[in-house]
Amino acid sequence: MMRSVRGFTLIELMVTIGVIAIIAVIAVPSFNNVLLKQNLNASTRSLVITLGKARSKAALQRSAVTVVLNSSAADTDSTLNWAASGKSALISTTTTIVFRADGMVQDPTTTTAPLSADMTLVLCDQAQAQAQYSKRIILSRMGVVQQGDLVTGSCNAS
C-alpha cells in the first residue's frame, strides 16, 4: 500500500524558482529607476531646505549667510554646506550662494551687487552623461526658492 507524500517535487520547485527569477529580471531595471528618482528628489528637497534655512538665518541674524554647494564640511553660524545624496549631481558653475543681510541674493560674479536675474540650479539623477532625470531649482533675487518638475531626458544646465 502506497502512502501519498505531501510536498513539492524537485521539478515543481525548479519551475517556481525559474518563474521568480524571470519576474525579478523584469523588475530590477524599474526598481533602479525608482531609486534614481528618489535620490534626485531627496537631493532636491535637501537643497531647497538648506537654501530656505540660509535665507532665514540671514534675515534673523542680519548678516550674510553663505551656502557652499557640493561640500560635506560642518556648518557654522555664517556658512551652511550642502552635498547631493546618492548618485545625484549638481550641474552648475556656481559653488557658493550668499544670502545678504538685506534679503537679497549676492551675485556670484561680484562681491557687492545683488543678483540681476533669477539663478537656476540643475540637479541630475547621476553623472551628466548618463542622466535620465533632472530637476531645476530657481532662486529669485529676493531668495525665494522654487522647485521645478521632474524632467525626463538629458540633463543640461541650460
Q: For the domain that residue 74 is a member of, what is the CATH number? A: 3.55.40.10
157 assigned to some structural domain? no
Looking at the 3D structure of the chain, how many domains does it have? Answer: 1
Does residue 36 form part of some domain?
yes
Convert the pLDDT of each residue in 40-83 to its tens digit: 999 999 999 999 999 999 999 999 999 999 888 899 989 999 99
| Residue 32 lies inside a defined structural domain of this protein | yes
63 in a domain, yes or no?
yes
**Is the residue at 1 inside a domain?**
no
Global pTM value: 0.79
Residue 123 domain-assigned (yes or no): yes
Identify the domain containing residue 132 by its residue range. 10-152
User: According to the model, what pLDDT value does residue 93 have?
Assistant: 82
The number of CA neighbours under 13 Å toward the Cβ of 16 is 6
With 90 as the cut, is the pLDDT of residue 125 above it? no
pLDDT, position 158: 59
Checking if the pLDDT of 95 tops 70, the result is yes
Looking at the domain assignment, is residue 117 inside a domain? yes
